Structure 1
Amino acid sequence: MAKSPTEQLLQELESLRARGLVTDEEYAARRQAILSGQVAPPPAKSGGGFFKKVGIGCGALIGIVIVIAIIAAAAGGGSGDDDSDTAASSGGTPGAGTNRGDVHVTLAPGVSGEIAPDGSPERKSRVTIVQIQDPVVSTNPFSQPKAGMRWIGIEVIHENVGTKEVSSLDWKLRDTNDNEHEEDVIGPVVDLPDLDPIYSDLTPGGKKQGWIYFQVPEGAGIKWLRADPNTFLKNDLYFDAP
């Protein structure tokens, strides 16, 4: 049975919350707006074709614009998406780590930094660098870095210092040649534990310690290591090489 327009809007809002794109407070406010009719439902489908649907009247079109605005407001705060909050580099492109709310600390053993997606204190994480191993040598001859590459290993502690559950961190490393590297989820085969990159959600007060690995070209150093608590929202933590 086809869902009503209101049910469709509520389902879309539920999807946004499930993906972590809206806070509980935003969810409650937007749900109330939908139920009270402040957000108009999309126009009903008809057999008249696309242009006929577009011309059904201003009220329905306004409703569609509001719905789009809700989705865009939730998803548009990702890392580096808001030009008004960034400082431009000499080439006119916003530089990495220049969003308002990004945190910068030194990349060194014992250094910690705290970050929360979009500045939400209830979902705050603390990340501590335990040690850096460069290079990491694999003890398995069948698990080796690509030609001209080496593994760099960084042991970290991820702690939930907020009041709500936090998700796993998304990691990125930029080398001194400005090449960016995603975390190598397989990593070298050595007698070191891995930090599970997927199933590491933490409840308040919880923490997890382990290693993250990157394949970096020989001869290139580290420029920065980034911990991103939510790829859809602003506020990232940068460990800058001294």
Structure 2
Amino acid sequence: MPKTPTEKLLQELEQLKSRGLITDDEYAERRQAIITGQVQAPPEKSGGGLFKKLGIGCGALVGILIVIGIVVAAAGGGGSGDQSSDTAAERTPGSGSADVRVTLAQGAVGEVAPGGDASRKSRVTVVRIMDPVVSTNQFSQPKAGMRWIGFEVIHENIGTKEIGSLDWKLRDTNDGEHDIDIIGPVVEMPDLDPVYSDLTPGGKKQGWIYFQVPEGAGIAWLRADPNIFAKGDLYFDAP
């Protein structure tokens, strides 16, 4: 029997917990939010659930399979050496594995392509930074000793192929690293959907992302990863 949207969300939450990506407390909070209807699954699209959770579109998944095939062929020492011209011809020479670093500020703009693949290039703009973010709901508050930091960002597809969502992470000045708080504060500002979203060429999306950070800790950097299986990330470094 097909799973309901709520069952699918709970299954993905179990996967996050089993992989050690969230704590027991975060698991309990997010599970309660799903069960009570505070978090709902958007309309389904074609493509795999886990890869959607990781922010990888169907096109990126095909690219991953192509790379795996090339690596296997090279390891075996055989084959004609004919690699896919679809990716090789569109790679940015000399910058495939390089991270891009931009100073973090309101209005900062950076561009990044996973593995140097210019056909799947992203442009990211930091529109606003809010520290702290104050929730308008007394029942949705950060943990004791923590605060929310919010970033309003624009993600644009400036390549020629469909791309998936970015994987975001924030490092604080105590060297703690934080993933997006998918529940976040209750505010009258639209959230950026970092999970169930693809962008076609020329498309863009704008919204807020939130992180729980310890009180007293500053921002070291904000990272946008276009593909967790490819090298080359975009870092917004604190000045």
TM-score w.r.t. structure 2 length?
A: 0.63
- Aligned-partner Cα distance in 2 for 1:137–1:18: 37
Structure 2 contact 59–163 (Cα < 8 Å) conserved: no
Q: Give the counterpart of 2:167 among 167, 170, 175.
A: 170
Q: Give the counterpart of 2:123 among 118, 121, 126.
A: 126
Alignment identity in percent?
70
- Aligned-partner Cα distance in 2 for 1:146–1:131: 24
Q: Give the counterpart of 2:76 among 61, 66, 73.
A: 66
Work out whether 1:101 is the aligned partner of 2:141.
no
Alpha-carbon distance change, 102 to 142 in structure 1, aligned in 2, over 3 angstroms: same
- Aligned-partner Cα distance in 2 for 1:118–1:187: 31
- Aligned-partner Cα distance in 1 for 2:160–2:59: 19
How is 1:39-188 mapped onto 2 (pairs within 5 angstroms)?
Answer: 66=76, 100-188=97-185
Partner of 2:11: none
Q: Give the counterpart of 1:23 among 43, 54, 63.
A: 63
How is 1:206-221 mapped onto 2 (pairs within 5 angstroms)?
Answer: 206-221=203-218
What do the CA deviations read for 1:113-172 (whole angstroms, capped 9, x no partner)?
000110000000000000000000001011000000000000000000000001000000
Aligned AA (1:190): V
Alpha-carbon distance change, 188 to 220 in structure 1, aligned in 2, over 3 angstroms: same
SS at match of 2:127: strand
Deviation at 1:66, TM superposition (A): 3.3
Structure 1 contact 21–232 (Cα < 8 Å) conserved: no
Partner of 1:200: 197
Rg larger for: 1
| Greater mean alpha carbon deviation, residues 164-173 or residues 193-202 | 193-202
Aligned AA (1:101): A
Deviation at 1:22, TM superposition (A): 5.2
What do the CA deviations read for 1:86-139 (whole angstroms, capped 9, x no partner)?
xxxxxxxxxxxxx94100001101110000110000000000000000000001
Work out whether 1:239 is the aligned partner of 2:230.
no
Aligned AA (2:180): E
TM-score w.r.t. structure 1 length?
A: 0.62
Aligned AA (2:60): G
- Aligned-partner Cα distance in 2 for 1:66–1:191: 56
Structural RMSD (CA)? 2.9
SS at match of 2:198: coil
Runs of 4+ in structure 1 deviating by more than 4 angstroms, as ranges, are: none
Deviation at 1:30, TM superposition (A): 4.9
Deviation at 1:21, TM superposition (A): 5.1
| Greater mean alpha carbon deviation, residues 193-202 or residues 140-149 | 193-202
Structure 1 contact 200–208 (Cα < 8 Å) conserved: no
SS at match of 2:119: helix
- Aligned-partner Cα distance in 2 for 1:18–1:207: 18
* Unmatched segments (≥5 aa) in structure 1: 1-14, 40-62, 68-98
- Aligned-partner Cα distance in 2 for 1:147–1:25: 44
Alpha-carbon distance change, 180 to 105 in structure 1, aligned in 2, over 3 angstroms: same
SS at match of 2:191: coil
Work out whether 1:225 is the aligned partner of 2:222.
yes
What do the CA deviations read for 1:8-40 (whole angstroms, capped 9, x no partner)?
xxxxxxx9x95835539947x959xx9xxxx6x
